[in-house]
Amino acid sequence: MRFVGEIENSAAATAKLVRNLAAKYDRLTFCYEAGPAGYGLHRQIENLGHGCVIAAPSLIPKKPGDRVKTNRRDAVSLAKLLRANELTAVWVADQGFHGTDSRAGRATPKLGMHRRHSPPAKARTDYPRGRYRPTDFWS
């Protein structure tokens, strides 16, 4: 296992890296920690014909004293855990699941119940006017 380096977060740089690695190796599986990169990177790698695992950050096994977090250490650790099959993958939604339909440019209907109106604050509390409520002291 070897650290290759960092690349910029763009579709062109990702495609170039995948092409270069695919020329050297027969089977590739990519993994990264779920975060702000979103599902776009996952979809791009899957569309290029390779496997991709998005690991749940809270379920990544870590040593008790390992608190230093660097990109290099995280990359090597994720690769070792992926090889050992110890990563828990998150569910990745397909393109049509998200809030907008990019082909039509319109929002898809929301699923679920409407928000219920809550009664006014005065009706919810049994405290007479002018007294302190227990929540007044919470921060």
Higher pLDDT: 58 or 23? It is 23
Of 40, 50, 43, residue with least CA distance to 18: 50
Q: Is the residue at 86 inside a domain?
A: yes
Check: CB of residue 59 under 8 Å from CB of residue 82: no
100-133 pLDDT per residue, tens? 545 555 555 555 444 554 445 444 445 455 555 5
CA 26 to chain centre: 27
Q: Is the residue at 36 inside a domain?
A: yes
Q: How many domains does the chain have?
A: 1
Q: Is the residue at 136 inside a domain?
A: no
Q: Is the residue at 55 inside a domain?
A: yes
Q: Has residue 135 got a pLDDT over 80? A: no
Q: Where are the beta strands (DSSP E) in the chain?
A: 29-33, 51-55, 100-101, 106-107
CA atoms within 13 A on the CB side of 7: 14
CA distance 48 to 63: 34
Q: Is the residue at 110 inside a domain?
A: no
Structural domain containing residue 27: 11-96
Q: Is the residue at 116 inside a domain?
A: no
Average pLDDT over residues 56-77: 85
CA distance 127 to 49: 63
Is the whole model's pTM more than 0.85, yes or no? no
Q: Which SS3 state, helix, strand or coil, does residue 78 take? A: helix
Position 137 confidence tier, pLDDT thresholds 50, 70, 90: low
pLDDT, residue 64, reads: 85
Higher pLDDT: 92 or 123? It is 92
Position 71 confidence tier, pLDDT thresholds 50, 70, 90: confident
Q: Is the residue at 115 inside a domain?
A: no
Q: Which SS3 state, helix, strand or coil, does residue 5 take? A: coil
Q: Is the residue at 72 inside a domain?
A: yes
Higher pLDDT: 16 or 71? It is 16
Q: Residue 72 corresponds to which tokens in the numbers above?
A: 């290099």
pLDDT, residue 132, reads: 54
Position 50 confidence tier, pLDDT thresholds 50, 70, 90: very high
Higher pLDDT: 84 or 123? It is 84
Check: CB of residue 49 under 8 Å from CB of residue 17: no
